[in-house]
């Protein structure tokens, strides 16, 4: 997409430099080119672009207050993520219905896509010396650094299942989680506004290191580290937060 100051050229609709992504329990406010709404998208619709998020000035016309949650940048345009100070807006659009309608501007659709949490499941594996198992990563976000076993959850997967699966894939060992409640943390890492949620469990494993089989092209090395050293080597904020609680 080529950009000028006001328009994304592969749509037929001018787009303001700054818009407000108002969301309330799965409902979002869409307006037309004149800033009037609410408007409702149609799933799997193909056609011209005519709906977008409102500007801050256009929101004032609706007569309610709103609280800013975050700001991020999409294709050179500012998107202000905010919560409206109103009762649940039943006449607004369902956010899930906006994704597949060409009438909804790409910036609105991209904003909604980015607002969906990415779910990660990880595990702190302890041996009988109280040391924690970490792997050195060869791909992904933390290449060349040490992290706890784990990764993205599958679509239909419980986090307690995901970290066990990931440990088997990455380290080649089967683990059983203990009864500790998982540590749940959330963070937005960049101006793109993508939110990650991590579930970090705990397990005990006293097998022989000869059983550890590292996944080729993903884990280059492993180490059993004292919790304090693990904290100093970890680069993921999720790992650091969990390891500090050992």
Provide the percentage of residues in the chain whose pLDDT is more than 70: 94
Q: What is the pLDDT of residue 112?
A: 94
Of 10-14, 105-109, 158-162, the range with the lowest mean pLDDT is 10-14
* Model pLDDT, residue 11: 63
Q: Is 213 left (phi over 0), alpha (psi -120 to 50) or beta?
A: beta
Structure confidence at residue 188 (pLDDT) = 83
Average pLDDT over the chain reads 92
Q: Domains along the chain?
A: 18-114 (no CATH), 118-243 (3.90.79.10)
pLDDT of residue 189: 74
Distance CA(30)–CA(130), nearest Å, equals 54
pLDDT at 111: 94
Instruction: Please give the pLDDT value at position 194.
Output: 84
With a cut of 90, say whether residue 1 has pLDDT above it: no
- Summarize pLDDT for 14-30 with one digit per residue, the tens: 899 999 999 999 999 99
Per-residue pLDDT averaged across 124-144, rounded? 91
Q: How many CB atoms lie within 10 A of CB 77?
A: 20
* Dihedrals phi, psi of 204, to nearest 5 degrees: -105, 140
Other residues' Cβ atoms within 10 Å of the Cβ of residue 155: 6
Residue 13 has pLDDT above 90, yes or no: no
């Amino acid at each position: 997409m080529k950009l000028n100051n006001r328009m994304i050229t592969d749509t037929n609709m001018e787009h303001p430099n700054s818009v407000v992504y108002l969301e309330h329990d799965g409902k979002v406010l869409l307006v037309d080119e004149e800033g009037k709404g609410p408007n409702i998208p149609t799933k799997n619709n193909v056609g011209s672009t005519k709906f977008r998020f409102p500007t801050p000035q256009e929101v004032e016309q609706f007569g309610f207050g709103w609280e800013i949650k975050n700001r991020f940048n999409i294709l050179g345009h500012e998107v202000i993520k905010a919560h409206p100070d109103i009762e649940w807006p039943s006449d607004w659009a369902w956010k899930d219905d906006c994704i597949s309608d060409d009438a909804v501007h790409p910036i609105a659709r991209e904003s909604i896509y980015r607002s969906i949490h990415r779910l990660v499941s990880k595990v702190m594996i302890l041996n009988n010396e109280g040391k924690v198992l970490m792997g050195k990563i060869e791909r992904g976000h933390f290449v060349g650094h040490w992290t706890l076993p784990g990764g993205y959850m599958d679509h239909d997967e419980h986090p307690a299942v995901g970290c066990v699966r990931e440990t088997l894939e990455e380290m080649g060992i089967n683990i059983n989680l203990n009864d500790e409640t998982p540590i749940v943390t959330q963070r937005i890492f960049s101006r793109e506004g993508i939110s990650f949620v991590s579930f970090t469990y705990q397990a005990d494993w006293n097998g022989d290191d000869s059983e550890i089989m590292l996944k080729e092209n993903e884990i280059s090395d492993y180490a059993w580290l004292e919790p304090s050293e693990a904290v100093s080597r970890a680069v993921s904020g999720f790992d650091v937060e969990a390891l500090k609680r050992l």
